[in-house]
Amino acid sequence: MLKIALIQQAYKKNQESTIKKTIELIQKAKKKGAKLVLLQELHQSRYFCINEDIKNFDIVTCFKKDVELWSKVAKKHEVVLVTSLFEKRAPGLYHNTAVVFEKDGSIAGKYRKMHIPDDPGFYEKFYFCEGDLGFNPIKTSVGNLGVLICWDQWYPEAARLMALKGADILIYPTAIGWFDEDSNEEKQRQLEAWITVQRGHAIANGLPLVAVNRVGFEKDDHNVLDGIRFWGNSFVVGPQGEFLAKASSDKEEIIICNIDLKKCEDVRRIWPFLRDRRIDSYQDLTKRFID
């Protein structure tokens, strides 16, 4: 059994207090026995992609310093830690990057978000270059972590490639929410679709899956939109897509959950989907569309 912690947070008034709170929550998670701690997407800052503004690149603190900070936190609390950072790689070249730290503070690996969204309120193509590290699980002392980020969660291809490369668990740091002006029915459909498509990846690959989302309302300071109400609902499912834990839609919370990584073996014995893939007939998956 692997004890994991999901930290679902709201952005505080500034980055400093947000980071301070995150560190407190990691400490709490450690006290509860978590060996693997998962943070939400871009947890250091507000979700600045809500509009396109050149000033927002100033939000990037020094990536090297960020890495040093979280390395220390992982080491101090002896936890494997999945962070989600705004990586400046060169002037004008930025990534949305998950850095995974080993419990001794060393870098276990990193993943640069491969699928980049761009729709009203989520202008990520302006801020982030798409990842160039591919889909590779990150080897740690608690297992091979199939870390993907937010928009990736809508893509069965990403989850499948992680599974084919031996991931033990799929992990999605996320920042997704509602627009208040949508109807309750539409909000419910969106939330349920987001949960369902990810449970589908767990099932199709016989793997446990974790999604960590932010909560709270963040205003659009350009006043084009009101803002985004991040919907929380961080959750954990097992390899049959069965719920192991689920957070609220509006509260900061730590979810502590035990995951049985051996259950993958049992489930894949009764549902041996990997055995029967028609790999001779999948070559068109690398096409944009087949017209």
Active-site residue numbers?
Answer: 41, 113, 150
Distance CA 8, CA 11 (A): 10
CB of 132 to a second copy, least distance (A): 9
* Spatial CB neighbours of 106, under 8 Å, sequence gap ≥ 6: 71
**Residue 138 CA: distances (Å) to CA of 59, 134, 189, 194, 256:** 27, 12, 33, 24, 22
Bridge partners (DSSP) listed for residue 229: 178, 217
Under rule CB under 8 A, residue 283 binds a second copy:
yes
CB of 151 to a second copy, least distance (A): 7
Sign, CA dihedral 213-263-27-59, equals negative
* Binding-residue pattern over the window 143 to 162 for a second copy, x denoting contact by CB under 8 A: --------x--xxxxx-xx-
CB of 139 to a second copy, least distance (A): 14
CB of 19 to a second copy, least distance (A): 30
Under rule CB under 8 A, residue 290 binds a second copy:
yes
Residue 170 and residue 197 in contact, taking contact as beta carbons nearer than 8 Å: no
Nearer to a second copy, 81 or 257 (CB): 257
CB of 200 to a second copy, least distance (A): 2
Phi, psi angles (nearest 5°) of residue 128: -120, 135
Query: Out of 15, 45, 61, 190, which residue is the one contacting a second copy (CB under 8 A)?
Result: 190
Considering CB under 8 A, how many residues would be counted as binding a second copy? Answer: 56
Residues in 235-264 at the binding interface with a second copy, rule: CB under 8 A: 240-242
DSSP-derived 3-state class of residue 2: strand
Question: How many Cα atoms within 13 Å fall on the side-chain side of residue 170?
Answer: 40
Nearer to a second copy, 20 or 243 (CB): 243
CB of 276 to a second copy, least distance (A): 5
* Residue located via tokens 């803002």: 227
Residues in 93-132 at the binding interface with a second copy, rule: CB under 8 A: 114-119, 130
Question: How many Cα atoms within 13 Å fall on the side-chain side of residue 255?
Answer: 28
Nearer to a second copy, 181 or 291 (CB): 291
Question: Of the listed pieces 56-64, 78-86, 196-204, 215-223, which binds a second copy according to CB under 8 A?
Answer: 196-204
Residues in 35-74 at the binding interface with a second copy, rule: CB under 8 A: none
Q: What angle do CA 64, 90, 49 make, to 5 degrees?
A: 85
Distance CA 138, CA 16 (A): 28
Nearer to a second copy, 164 or 261 (CB): 164
Binding site for a second copy (CB under 8 A): 114-119, 130, 134-135, 151, 154-158, 160-161, 164-166, 189-190, 192-193, 196-201, 203-204, 240-242, 270-274, 276-291
